[in-house]
A and B are shown apart, each in its own frame.
Chain A
């Protein structure tokens, strides 16, 4: 079986058809984040989160009322996994100045007024400072990863390739965060881990195309850079589609079977793989071309300027 054989799509010729929707997505995501504010999970803002297994259908409203009378900032979400058991996720703010360790008892008291048939399966209480630290670490990790990859690519290829790849990667990260915000998904530690993973995937995709461009540049005679890039994208197209499809399969498997804990992680991955594949073709490549063309123009200008100076 063969997906694509000897294709000649002109990817760069129609680039605005693809860059525009991408820009719209970025804008929509960013406005959503700005208007609603970023939604951090308890990992990042501190607080209490419990995963409670309820026998029978959980009375969400009554649980909310009972916990709210004792704690501030309460949210109660019922979640069903594929096995059909019912779980309730109750989160709340930590009482100010209160002890991290006493809130479990408070929640237990609140729940036992409703029914004795529940069990707290996962209890997590995070002090506010831990959350601050984590946000700081997440920022450091993202900045560090971007810088590290830029350095490696600039060393292996040229600066232009590195910049194009990193811009495409940031594009993916921003779109994914925006879409997660649109889907009301909180930014938790696992989502950040997924973001960093898909940054790696997106890079992968871009590098495969760029590797081919570099290889073709060595043997292309009079071909223009635009033609070389187009040819390289076409040559790697079946690999790009197949790989993305297969990694998407594993991510979807995680989304379907991975359970509640991995939901945010797998959702971020599914979005990220789609966006990442798109960006290596329609974002990274045009940037590479624009940069190199601009650079060439600047060089000729410099040359005519210095030639004028001699005269």
Chain B
């Protein structure tokens, strides 16, 4: 008897130590709603009829976006797929408060092309066509420049075939030009470089256009043979030049991207939420423990022990999985307290019934736990079943809630049956033959 009790106690102590170790080794990371940041849901605009091709495009987009985000210095923010449609991506960027820069970084496609200029500038597309007798010449296209300082556009007539394509780039960096202004320099791949060298050699004095995402960035005149690199001027700030370099380096997006949902949380709101969640948890726990102690006396202390153990295990398992704690997750944890209390009440009421029926302390304890166990399994399984359907929601918030609750229910079954029972067994063993139970009823 004594030996088995000691063995079980050692087992529980080992689990406690392991839990504490797990929590210390990898503390819970806070979710975006608790530490502030930007979360975006992006839709990849791909309407290829083949589902395989669509998947491929979304997958490519995801990798490129991830590369861009990493280049931005946010390594712990993977791009996740979102929703059931298969063309939506979730980007979470904790710790960022200005979403506009990151949005440009994600949304611009990053297709860089180099064309020869065949005419222009014109003030409007109409002027351009009028210049050519009412119709555009064959194999030419009209492209607008970036809006100038006063918001005006000008138009150039370009060859419809680019000399250099986006896929011809090898690298892109930020440098300073002779005037100490930030410029984005890029390197061409070997094939493209030899092609470009030939082209520039035979076209010295010709005006060219550097086009990014269907917008003319600049129209330099070729004044010398260019081998394998070029630079893009006109960045308004170093940041802008850097972002362009990142976009060119990470590759062009295979499809356009639309932002369908955006959420920005300020860090101070997250801090408030943590404080409120903690307050709610502590207040709820304190009230429950007080009532349990009042109503069940010493047995209430056993329940409290089981409750605390449950909380410890829950946090340990969550940090083992590398889970991220969110506000709905805190709600799930608070609800776990409710479920844990229910299990203890169920067991204690059963023990009381057995005691009233005249059984000895030991027999009542055994019968109470055994009979309550069937009910406990039924209630826990049904709640887990209903929780599983919460995973139907693609939303991370609801998933976080369901995950916490399911883990909490599982650990609760262990603590309320095993840990609390052990505490009772020690109580009986200490009193030996004339054992009585302190469970709040007069005998």
Chain A residues with a Cβ under 8 A of chain B: 1-2, 5-6, 51, 53, 81, 83, 99-101, 104, 119-127, 129-130, 133-134, 137-138, 140-142, 144-145, 148-149, 152-153, 156, 189-190, 192-193, 196-197, 199-201, 203-204, 207-208, 211-212, 215, 235-236, 238-239, 242-243, 245-247, 249-251, 253-254, 256-259, 261-262, 265, 269
Contacts and interface: CB of A to CB of B under 8 A. Distances in A.
Interface string B263-302: 1111011001100110111011101100110110000000
A190 B389 contact: no
Nearest to A143: B389
Given A125-B262, A190-B397, 13 more contacts: A101-B259, A121-B266, A122-B266, A124-B264, A125-B261, A127-B260, A145-B385, A148-B386, A201-B383, A239-B346, A254-B280, A254-B284, A262-B331
Contacts of B338: 201, 246-247, 250-251
Contact of A189 (B266, B284, B291, B397): B397
B394 A152 contact: no
Given A208-B379, A247-B338, A254-B280, A130 B269 contact: no
Contacts of B20: none
Contact of A196 (B103, B292, B345, B389): B389
Given A51-B269, A122-B269, A239 B345 contact: yes
14 contacts: A2-B352, A51-B269, A101-B103, A119-B266, A126-B260, A127-B261, A129-B260, A130-B41, A145-B385, A199-B386, A203-B379, A207-B382, A242-B349, A250-B287
Given A137-B393, A141-B390, A246-B288, A148 B345 contact: no
Nearest to A85: B272
Given A148-B385, A239-B346, A140 B392 contact: yes
Contacts of B273: 259, 261
B259 A250 contact: no
Interface residues of B, number: 74
B339 to A, nearest CB: 8
A259 B341 CA distance: 24
A182 B288 CA distance: 30
B345 A130 contact: no
B392 to A, nearest CB: 4
B331 A254 contact: yes
A246 B345 contact: yes
Contact of A130 (B261, B266, B277, B283): B261
B398 interface: yes
A258 B40 CA distance: 26
A56 B142 CA distance: 55
Contacts of A208: 346, 375, 379
Contacts of A189: 393, 395, 397-398
B99 interface: yes
A243 B264 contact: no
A118 B382 CA distance: 47
Contacts, number: 213
B371 interface: yes
Given A1-B294, A101-B103, A246 B389 contact: no
Contact of A148 (B294, B335, B388): B388
Interface string B355-397: 0100000000000000100110011011101111110111101
Given A238-B349, A246-B288, A137 B392 contact: yes
A145 B388 CA distance: 8
Given A152-B382, A207-B375, A242 B398 contact: no
B277 A149 contact: no
Nearest to B292: A246
Interface in B332-355: 334-335, 337-339, 341-342, 345-346, 349, 352-353
Contacts of B337: 250
Nearest to A241: B345
A243 B276 contact: no
Contacts of B441: 2
B327 interface: yes
Contacts of B381: 152
A26 to B, nearest CB: 21
Contacts of B383: 200-201, 203-204
Nearest to B83: A133
Contacts of A201: 338, 383
Nearest to B442: A2
B346 A193 contact: no
Contacts of A197: 335, 405
A259 B83 CA distance: 29
A131 to B, nearest CB: 9
Interface string B308-339: 00000000000000000001100100110111
A215 B386 contact: no
B84 interface: yes
A21 B265 CA distance: 44
Nearest to B350: A239
A63 to B, nearest CB: 18
Given A125-B262, A203-B379, A215-B371, A2 B440 contact: yes
A196 B272 contact: no
A103 to B, nearest CB: 9
A200 B387 contact: yes
